[in-house]
Amino acid sequence: MRSLRNVIPRYNPAALIDSTTTLPQIHQIHAHLLVAGFLGDPFHYAKLVADLALSSSSSSSSNLAYAHLLLRRSPHPPSLFALNSLIRAHSKGPDPLLAFPLYRRLLRSLPPDNFTFTFLVRASAAAAAASGPAVHAAALRRGLAADAHVQSGLIHMYAELGLPAASRAVYDEVERPDLVARTAMVGALAQCGEVGSAREMFDEMPRRDPVAWNAMIAGYAHVGRSREALELFSAMQSEGVRVGEATMVSVLTACAHLGALDQGKWAHAYVQKHKLRITVTLGTALIDMYSKCGNIERAMEVFRSMRERNVYTWSSAIGGLAMNGASEECLELFDLMQREGVQPNAITFLSVLRACCVAGLVDEGRAYFASMRARHGIEPWQEHYGCVVDLYGRAGRLGEALAFINAMPTAPHAGAWGALLHACRLHGDVALGEHATRRILESESANDAAHVLLSNTYAASRDWAGVSRVRESMRAKGVRKEPGCSAIEVGGEIHEFFVGDKTHRRYREMEVMLGEMATKLREAGHVARTEGVLFDIEEEEKEGALSWHSEKLAIAFGLIASEKSAAIRIVKNLRVCWDCHEASKVISKVYHREIVLRDRNRFHHFKAGLCSCMDYW
C-alpha cells in the first residue's frame, strides 16, 4: 500500500479504501485519520463508514464488519448517508435480509429517502423475500414510490417474487418510462418466462443498453430457447454493444443446454480475448458448459485455474465428473472440497449420489446419504431419495429399493417410483414394475415415460397382451409418447433430428449412410434388439424402425458432415435405447470415431467399441 504521509492532508477515503484493502491496512488508515483529527468531524466519520461499506465484497467482508464496528462506536449520531451505505452493501451481499435491522435503526432517528427504499427493494429482490410488498407499501406511505429508481427496482423485485402482473402494474404507473424502466420491464417479463412479450417490448425500445440485451438473452436461456439466445448475442455484437460478464454467463448457459461445444469454446476465447475477469460466476458457467458438452478435461482445467471458488463452483465440477461417468474422480474431489473447508450443499450431494449410482457404489452411496442430515444438517430433497432408489435398483436390489421407498418420511414422488420402474425394466420384474407404474399414475396420470417403460417391460418378457393394455390405456387417456430428438453441432451450427425425420437438406446423403451403417453393423455381428419396438410388425421392419431413431440419424449426419478425426457429439432429450447404445459402440469401432452422447440422465463416451458407462446405465 502506498504511503499515507502525503494523502492524509487532502483526505479522500475512496482513494484509500477499496475491495483489496486488508484489515491491517484498514487499522492503519483508521489510526492515521484519528491522529490527524479528521474523525472529529461527523461528515468525515460518516464518509469513512460509508466507504468501508461500499468497498466490501464477498472477498472483503472484513471491510463491512469494520464499518459496523465504527458505527457502533461512533461519537456522532449515525447519518442517513452512512446507514444507507450499509443497507446498500447488505442488499448486494450474501445475506440481503441484514439490511432490514439497519432500516429499523434508521427509522428511530431519521426519515428514509429514495435511496433507502431503492436499496431495500434490491434486498427484497435478492432474497426473494415476502417483505417486498411491505417495502413497497412503506415507500407509498412516505411518497417515495414514484421515484424512478424505486420503480425500476420494484419491477425487478416483483419478477424475482414470481409476480409478473405486479411488475406490470408498477410499470403502468410510470408516467414517462425511461430506458431504466423499460429495461427493468423487459427483464421482468423475460425472467418470468414471458419471453414473447419481453421480445416485443425489447424490439420497440428506441434505445437499448447492455442491461436490456443481457436481460433478453438471459430470458431466452432461462426458458431453454438457447438458439434464440445465441442469435440475439450475435446481433448484440453486430450492433457493437459492450459485452460483460452477465452476457457471457447466459451465452455459456445456452451453449451448455445445446451441447454446442464449438460455440462454447468460441465464447471462452471471447472472454480471454477481451480480458473479461474470470469471476466465480463466470468460471462456474465455463465449468458447467464444458461438462455438459462432454469435455470434462477442459472443465477441470478451468476449475483448477480459478483463484476463487465457492460451493457452486465445487458442485459444478463434482456434477460434471459424475455426469461424465468419472465417479472415482468425483468422489475424490468431494473429499478435497471438505478438506478445504467448503461446506457442501444439497446440490453437491445430488452429484455425489449420482456418481455412486452410475458406478454401482451402493454402500458408499448409502453412507453419503446418511451423512447429509447427520453430519452436515442438510435435509434430503425428493431427488436425493430418488437417487438412493436408483442406486439400489441399478444394482438389482429391488426389494431394498421398495423398502426404502416405503420408509420415506414423505409421500414417495413420481421420481422415486420412476427409478424403481426403470430398475424393473432393467431386471425384468414385471409384477413390481406394474406396482410402480400404478403408483406413478395415481399422481401423474399423463406420465408418458411410465407408460412407455411398463410397455417395454412387458415387451422384454414377450407379454404382448400387456403391451396392448398399456397402449390402449395411453390412447384412452390421450397420452402421447414424447418424440425422441437428437441435436448435433457441426461447424458451429446446431442440427436437430426427430425419430423418422426425413426433412433435413442432406437427407439423401444421410439415407445412404444409414444403409452403410446397417450393413457394417451386421458384418460386425451386431444383432438389433427389437423387443422394445412395436410388436405387431415383422422383425425386419422392427430393425428398420430402430435405424430411424434420432440418435442414429444424428450419427449418420456426423459421419458425412464432420471432419473424419472429429468426435461426434450428440444431445438427446430422452434416455438412449438399448439398441442405439449397442450400435453406437460398434459404430465407434468400425468408423474409428469417438461418439459422445448426452441423454436425459448422463453422458456416454463411445470409443473403440466400448462405452464409458461400462454398460451400467
Average pLDDT per block of 10 residues along the chain, 617 residues long: 45 55 68 70 74 61 75 81 88 87 92 94 86 92 92 91 90 88 90 90 90 92 91 91 90 92 92 90 96 95 94 95 92 95 94 91 95 94 95 93 94 90 87 88 76 76 79 79 87 87 91 94 82 44 59 95 92 88 94 93 91 80
List, in order, residues 6 or more apart from 18 with CB less than 8 Å away: 55
- Report the C-alpha gap between 306 and 309 in whole angstroms: 7
Write the CA distances from 503 to 119, 517, 545, 593, integer angstroms: 54, 20, 17, 25
Q: What is the pLDDT of residue 521?
A: 93
Residue type, position 351, single letter: S
CB-neighbour burial class of residue 509 (10 A; exposed 0-12, middle 13-18, buried 19+): middle
Spatial separation of the C-alpha atoms in residues 71 and 206, rounded to whole Å: 45
Q: What is the pLDDT of residue 23?
A: 64
> According to the model, what pLDDT value does residue 2 have?
44
The Cα-based distances of 286 to 18, 110, 283, 298, 316 in angstroms read 28, 46, 5, 9, 10
Instruction: Give the whole-angstrom CA distance, residue 293 versus residue 287.
Output: 10
Question: Considering the entire predicted model, what is its pTM?
Answer: 0.78
Instruction: Report d(CA 360, CA 393) in Å as an integer.
Output: 10
Strands 485-490 and 493-498: what pairing?
Answer: antiparallel
What pLDDT does 6 receive? Answer: 46
What span, in angstroms and rounded, lies between the C-alpha atoms of 200 and 214? 15
C-alpha to C-alpha distance for 39 and 366, rounded to whole angstroms: 59
A 10 A CB-CB count for 390 gives 25
Kindly tell me the burial class for residue 357, based on how many C-beta atoms sit within 10 Å of its own C-beta (0-12, 13-18, 19 or more): buried
| Chain centroid offset of residue 112 CA | 38
pLDDT, position 472: 82
